[in-house]
Structure 1
Amino acid sequence: MTSTELVKPKEKSLPAEVKKECENCGASLSGQFCAECGQEITSNIRYFGTVILHLLDDIFSFDSRASRTLLPLVLKPGFLTQKYFAGKRVHYVPPLRLYLFISIIFFLSLKLFTDIPAPKLPISASTEIQQSINDTINELNLEPTSSKNEEVKQRLNEYVTDIQQKSSPLLQSNSVKLAQLELKKLTKPDEFSSDDEIDYKSYQQSIADYKKDLKAGKKSSSYIRVSNQEDGTLRFDFLSAEMNKKLNEQVDILKEKAETAITSDPSKLIEEAIGKMPQLMFILLPIFALLLKIFYLFSKRLYMEHLTVALHSHSFIFFIILLIEMLNELEGVVIESFPTAADMLNTLMVGLLIWIPVYLFLMQKRVYKQGMLMTVIKFNIIAISYLMMIIFTGLAALVWGLTSI
């Protein structure tokens, strides 16, 4: 009886969690995970704040692995990629998490460091220009009347009219520049260079095209030209007439927005475009990996391995540009008090810029292990192709940004 009495208290003293059952399959639990189905004991239904903290921890959990990852990322081309391929992944930040962390910081910093002051509206400078034009006209009135003088006065009066057109900042801007060149041509002909002549004709043509479009009754007040037809419109044979019409209406709207943004406050457009870049870069990454796959088709590398190369190379590029931005800001702070330190910072920034292509070349050489000549050829072709993709991505970001302003 005594032994039986001793057993019962032991059974009753077992921890309650040992007797818990899995909410998924009903099996008895003896640890943090179910031995039958693998489901975790902890419920996923938690306070919203806890969920957010866990999500941020998954993305930004840079423990001691950070110090083992960032230095090789900057100083050892291809090191992290080779370690990842070799299966040594516990000691380093995973490629995708590394890219997400650095790219988020990079694009946030771009918005902070990119400071594009809004240009002065032409109207703010128009008083001085108009006064100069009026003075020139008065001087011409004192001279004997001639057909040449009359033509000049007519042009100058047209400039005044165009400068006063508040509805088109771009027309104002180009009219101011054209008027300045006209005055220089009249008052200082010896200083009127061949480049000035080229600019003069260019501004004349742009304003003439703009007025021609207005006379033709086009809705767009912009003379930024986006067309593949002689009449200045876009038309594609694979689209119906109705679709082509809608396309041109949308293009006209975007051209008007572009004119206003460029001439009034380009910083807003740049900010919107930067805001679109993370999504577009995330689309560009697998395309770049596909480009690597094509050029190294016989390397027996899987597509995911090429994608790892793309993630590490972009993480490196973003991190270096981020460093350059920070050094540039620091240079602006110390340039007056410590000019020598500013020169050193400037030299360091130039060195970092040169290091980018050198690093990427060495990374490609070490990861794919091809000969020097083939690596040089492929690297240059890939670099040119990638630059074209970046330009296209930047244009896409600008167009997407225009739709948001």
Structure 2
Amino acid sequence: MSNKELTSYEGACCANCQTPLEGEYCHHCGQSVHSVLRPVHGLFEEFFETFLHIDGRILHTLPPLFRKPGFLTLEYFSGRRVRYIAPFRLMFVLCLLSFFVLHLATDVITHRIEERHRSAALVVTNDDFAQAQTAPEVSAVLSKRLAALEATRSVGNAAIVAQIDKAEQQLRDQANDRLTELGAPAKASTVVAAAPPPHAEQPDKPINPVHISWLPAFANERLTEFLEHARRNLKAFDYTNHHGTVAERQEAIDHLVAGFYGVLPGTMLVLVPVFALLLTLFYIFKRRLYMEHLIVSLHSHAFIFLSLLLIVLVGILSTWLKPYSSFAGHAVSMLQLPLFLWIPAYLLIMQKRVYRQGWAMTVVKFWFIGWFYFWLLVLFLLVAAALGIVH
């Protein structure tokens, strides 16, 4: 027997409500018999005990959540809840984890795209001036390419700056060669000097202030500010615009990504009760409480977020393995397809087990619910993207 089982609380009363105690916790108000005034080592013991308890619940929750469609929901309906993590906490934690990892993966992808465009600006081919038929056209092509190189120069890397200088000289030489072919005596340097410098564009005019008569002044000012942010971010994000620096473009990308992922968890939390409402409408004759549909929605989204987390982690692992072993990297990446396919299959089986209807009716309702939910998801993602752009 443990010390807890040997302890007798006969005659003891709760310090909070004076109710006679029958165990470590008062059955009337729930207060613990243990005092918070204890040595520091007692706090560490309590922390590790709580951590191990939560860890045990994770081991009992995550495997059946991923492998057994509807199991956790049916267990919750049956009243067996202590060994598992509560549905909302489970969904919320997995939501944050999945979007955190996806955010990291997105940062890696955007930086790689930027590196690819930066490398492309340094590549000089013999076809750069082939389409130019006059000296002004040669000047325009050369100015555009030099502007792109100048924007890349802002990274401050000595090796890249040396490559930029080499590419710039190659471009000028090719421009001179093309001018010679066209019979134009002017040198490329003279042509470029006559052309407007890359940063000599007219400054951007601020957008016209938004004025909606039925909105208060502060709302119109806020909308104007949002539109101005959107215009600047979209212009800096445009890779065909060579007049912005790499730092400006990267800042715009960071604003977009940070704004998008900043509102995405909240957006998904709104979809959980909306999905439960869809279940309520399609299973109205089952006479189930809305809270039951909400539990189904919470466990469904928790599974989706867990699957998304696994898919992203598999992608990251595949990307990390490919430089060392191409075969291993591609083999790992092939795991993403069954993970994707398991999501609709899991949700269909879960819907069948929880609501206990025939396969034909379940498939029809699953299709309609999925169709409505898909367009709601697209709408919410577009809103999240718009908020990210105006960030």
When normalised by structure 2's length, the TM-score is 0.63
Aligned residue for 1:219, secondary structure, equals coil
Structure 2 matches for 1:148-227, cutoff 5 A?
A: 218-220=205-207
Q: Is the 8 A contact 2:229 2:390 kept in 1?
A: no
Aligned residue for 1:116, secondary structure, equals helix
Partner of 2:345: 358
Which segments of 5 or more consecutive residues in structure 1 lack a partner in the other structure?
A: 1-14, 142-149, 167-186, 188-210, 221-230
Give the superposition deviation at 1:44.
6.5
The separation in 1 between residues aligned to 2:139 and 2:328, in whole angstroms, is 56
Which of 272, 281, 284 in structure 2 is aligned with 1:285?
Answer: 272
Partner of 1:73: 65
Q: Is the 8 A contact 2:264 2:381 kept in 1?
A: yes
Partner of 1:257: 233
Partner of 2:357: 370
Partner of 2:260: 273
The separation in 1 between residues aligned to 2:269 and 2:52, in whole angstroms, is 16
Identity of aligned residues (%): 32
One-letter amino acid matched to 2:229: I
Q: Is the 8 A contact 2:255 2:389 kept in 1?
A: no
One-letter amino acid matched to 1:264: Q
Deviation by residue 1:209-244 (Cα, 9 ceiling, x = unmatched): xx9xx89x8514xxxxxxxxxx9x977675468855
Give the superposition deviation at 1:275.
3.7
- Structure 1 residues 370 and 280: CA distance shift in structure 2, 3 A: same
Structure 2 matches for 1:231-380, cutoff 5 A?
A: 239=215, 243-244=219-220, 246-261=222-237, 263-265=249-251, 266-335=253-322, 338-380=325-367
Which segments of 5 or more consecutive residues in structure 2 lack a partner in the other structure?
A: 1-6, 152-177, 179-200, 239-248
Which of 49, 54, 57 in structure 2 is aligned with 1:61?
Answer: 54
Deviation by residue 1:60-112 (Cα, 9 ceiling, x = unmatched): 8130x444433322222222212222223234333223223322332232233
Aligned residue for 1:61, secondary structure, equals helix
Q: Is the 8 A contact 2:229 2:389 kept in 1?
A: no
Give the superposition deviation at 1:353.
0.9
Aligned residue for 2:284, secondary structure, equals coil
When normalised by structure 1's length, the TM-score is 0.62
One-letter amino acid matched to 2:361: M
Partner of 1:205: none
- Structure 1 residues 348 and 246: CA distance shift in structure 2, 3 A: closer
Partner of 1:116: 109
The separation in 2 between residues aligned to 1:82 and 1:238, in whole angstroms, is 50
Aligned residue for 1:298, secondary structure, equals helix
Structure 2 matches for 1:97-136, cutoff 5 A?
A: 97-114=89-106, 115-118=108-111, 119=114
Aligned residue for 1:117, secondary structure, equals helix
- Structure 1 residues 256 and 58: CA distance shift in structure 2, 3 A: farther
Partner of 2:87: 95
Q: Rg bigger for which structure?
A: 1
Q: Is the 8 A contact 1:126 1:163 kept in 2?
A: yes
Moved more, 337-346 or 358-367: 337-346
One-letter amino acid matched to 1:101: V
The separation in 2 between residues aligned to 1:251 and 1:56, in whole angstroms, is 52
The separation in 1 between residues aligned to 2:222 and 2:378, in whole angstroms, is 26
The separation in 1 between residues aligned to 2:382 and 2:39, in whole angstroms, is 42
The separation in 1 between residues aligned to 2:322 and 2:150, in whole angstroms, is 42
If asked which structure has higher relative contact order (CA below 8 Å, sep 6+), I would say 2
Aligned residue for 1:310, secondary structure, equals helix
Aligned pairs, how many? 322
One-letter amino acid matched to 1:33: Y
The separation in 1 between residues aligned to 2:49 and 2:127, in whole angstroms, is 61
